[in-house]
Amino acid sequence: EVQLVESGGGLVQPGGSLRLSCAASGYTFSSYEMNWVRQAPGKGLEWVSYISSSGSTIYYADSVKGRFTISRDNAKNSLYLQMNSLRAEDTALYYCASYSDNLYYFDYWGQGTLVTVSS
Amino acid sequence: EIVLTQSPATLSLSPGERATLSCRASQSVSSYLAWYQQKPGQAPRLLIHDASNRATGIPARFSGSGSGTDFTLTISSLEPEDFAVYYCQQRSNSLTFGGGTKVEVK
């Protein structure tokens, strides 16, 4: 069974930094493209960032470009999101989400980690 | 950026009724559209991919149709567990989600 477990969320002041992690198990992590998707409290879903299976291709939403950095360590079956210059509008539940075999949509999801940006 | 507009925002129906949800794209996304279901406190679940293909394990009462800019998710006969929020998502140009449709018990 595929499991994605996020961690690293918490309360941070505006302008601060946080690093999120996503630990994957139950499948060959290194074969799958990964994403971060967030959901502000009571709001809809927003795609944040994508990374290819090898890590060579990366994309960001305009709202986080230049502030967030996605990375992965295939040896550790882990995905990361380094978030700098955080703003109040970054407050959200952050999900890691995986594509699956030949399916370029979000097929596997974690349960999310909550990031709150507030003074 | 491709904007996806979902309607209605809320759909009030009774179990056993048919639900029809709409998703309209600001420009053509071909068939690169998916539908997700999200229940309170849970992560979204993929229902339909590439406009009309059910994901693994999704019941046959869920069906998707459309192409280009207009898409529909139909639930043929609502079960109690189907009351939830539904999102559409496109992958034709970057990745964007619609604002969601809440299907609630009438």
Does the structure show a pLDDT above 90 at A84?
A: yes
Question: Would you call B98 an interface residue with chain A, using a CB distance cutoff of 8 Å?
Answer: yes
Q: What pLDDT is stored for residue A101 in this prediction?
A: 78
Q: Give percent of chain B above pLDDT 70.
A: 100
pLDDT digits (tens, 9 = 90+) for B41-97: 999 999 999 999 999 999 999 999 999 999 999 999 999 999 999 999 999 999 999
Buried b (16+ CB within 10 A) or exposed e, B22-56: bbbbeeebebbbbbbbbeeeebbbbbbbbbbebbe
Select from B39, B95, B97 the residue whose CB has the most chain A CBs within 10 Å, as the one to mutate to test that interface.
Answer: B95
Q: Answer whether A45 sits within 8 Å of B87, measured CB to CB.
A: yes
The predicted-structure confidence for B64-80, as pLDDT tens digits, reads as follows 999 999 999 999 999 99
Nearest-CA distance A62 → chain B (Å) = 10
Show the CA angle centred on residue A57, arms to residues A29 and B97, nearest 5°. 80
CB B54 within 8 A of CB B37: no
